Amino acid sequence: MRGRAASVIRTGAFIKQHLEQGPAYIGEIHRALKDAWRAENQTRARADQVRPPTYESFGKYFRLCRELGLVELDHEEPMEEPPPGGPLKSIRDGKIVESSRRYYRLTARGSSEISAWEDPLAALGYTRPAPAPKKAKKK
């Protein structure tokens, strides 16, 4: 674990808990995680507040969960309102298609697994490099 603050709201445990309530899309889960961190930060001194993960880093974490088979696609729905400028496009299976909202659910493995939620990189067999030695200060 990188720091004490991360032990308060663990991203993997949060995703699992959110999906236990039913299928959800990535943006919805990320927004709920940010809201949980905002509530947590209100109880902390300004200097001790923690920034929640960005959408990009959260998306990477979620992709690891998909690779591990912890979550799977439940269904897709068209976007409620296309943004100004027209509908968004995505690339899926090498084809350009209109974007849709993708809802995910827990798999049987995701419901029973514990360690993969805590550290998906380790569960996939990645090892973190040792930290670089600190350079001596010049005088």
So what's the pLDDT on residue 119? Answer: 86
Strands 24-25 and 100-106: antiparallel
**CATH top class, domain 5-81+88-122:** mainly alpha
Instruction: Write out pLDDT tens, residues 70-101.
Output: 999 999 988 777 767 777 777 777 888 777 88
Full-prediction pTM beyond 0.85?
no
Instruction: Write out pLDDT tens, residues 97-138.
Output: 777 889 999 999 999 988 899 888 888 888 877 778 887 777
Closest CA to 50 of 113, 7, 111: 7
Tokens of 9: 């709201």
Cα gap 31→13, rounded to integer Å: 15
Mean pLDDT of 27-41: 94
Res. 24 pLDDT band, cuts 50 70 90: very high
Are the C-beta atoms of 124 and 68 separated by less than 8 Å? Answer: yes
Q: Domain spans of the chain? A: 5-81+88-122
So what's the pLDDT on residue 1? Answer: 39
**In which region does residue 10 sit, left (phi positive, over 0), alpha (psi from -120 to 50) or beta (all else)?**
beta
